[in-house]
Amino acid sequence: MAETMSSTHPEPGALRASDADREAAVERLRAHAAAGRLDPDELDERLERAFAARTAGELSELMTDLPAQDAPRRSSRDRSGRRAHFATYARVMLLLVAIWALTGAGYFWPVWPMLGWGVAVLMHARPGGLCGRRRLSTPTPHV
């Protein structure tokens, strides 16, 4: 055997690109075009090159002059959703305390719904969501 492999792990750019890698690169190119970074002719040229790419290195060459895509920011919809949940919680708790007061103010039973539901509202309000975990998104291949 005259020829031996110099390394068992090829360079990252030399790895063969999959259809999913090509599709991810195409989606990124379209997003950059939608943001105004690529004109239609340049987008068409890069899309042709993306679909013809055989390696991950060829795909990454298409992105060298484009900024990396930022992680999605929390939308105002997320914040308003938390506000709406807290407002609903507060109204229901006020209603329960009013019922407790109007029925004789004995044992303070509203503490139990306050604690149970309160824990859920607080967990929702945490930056990472429930249990501090980040929501998983579809992984994008490194191209």
Do both 126 and 90 map to the same domain?
Answer: yes
The CA–CA distances, whole Å, from 102 to 98, 107, 115 equal 6, 13, 21
Do both 88 and 125 map to the same domain?
Answer: yes
The pTM for the full model equals 0.44
- Any idea which residue has 């009013």 for tokens? 98
Do both 97 and 125 map to the same domain?
Answer: yes
Over 90: is that where the pLDDT of 91 sits? yes
129's enclosing H/E stretch is: none
Do both 57 and 28 map to the same domain?
Answer: yes
Do both 56 and 84 map to the same domain?
Answer: no
Instruction: Provide the domain count of the chain.
Output: 2
Do both 123 and 90 map to the same domain?
Answer: yes
For 94-116, the pLDDT digits (tens) are 999 999 999 988 899 999 999 98
Do both 90 and 43 map to the same domain?
Answer: no
| 142 assigned to some structural domain | no
Range of the domain at 55: 12-61
Q: 21, 37, 61 — which closes off a domain? A: 61
Query: Do residues 98 and 81 lie in contact, with contact meaning Cβ atoms separated by under 8 Å?
Result: no
For 39-74, the pLDDT digits (tens) are 989 999 999 999 998 998 888 898 888 888 654 555
